[in-house]
A = this chain, B = another copy of it.
């Protein structure tokens, strides 16, 4: 196997293992990884609402169906949605207090899972890894 094939396979394979661990960490909260990421994006808005298109741009997992993902979060009372009055095509999505509180707990669980994965790497190695990945995505 050529070096670049090996790197690609290695990268995808490793990312998959990590994704699985994060999925496991989120299981007690009954949210999927994309749902968790949407909650983090909404928290990052610091009170400002986010449109669907904004959320979609920022998601790690590209997601053709953000509408239904948000529906699930509404069912759980983690977010609220209403149409934007200035531009009635848009919707405005907010994270609720319930959502914020749940997110704190999720963060703890996910952070713990991440640390367990990364524990083998030194601070310097982490930096190297980040730089190589950044370079890869030029």
B-binding segment of A67-75, A96-104, A129-137: A129-137
- Interface residues in A18-65 by Cβ distance below 8 A to B read 18-20, 22, 60-62
Residues 91-135 of chain A: 1 if any B CB is under 8 Å from the residue's CB, otherwise 0?
000000000000000000001001101101101011111101111
Size range of the chain A interface in the assembly = 35 or more
CA distance A42 to B136 in the complex (A): 30
What secondary structure prevails in chain A residues at the interface with B? helix
CA distance A6 to B115 in the complex (A): 11
Known interface pairs A11-B18, A14-B136; 7 further A-B residue pairs with C-beta atoms within 8 A, sorted by A's residue number: A3-B130, A7-B118, A7-B126, A7-B133, A12-B18, A16-B61, A128-B128
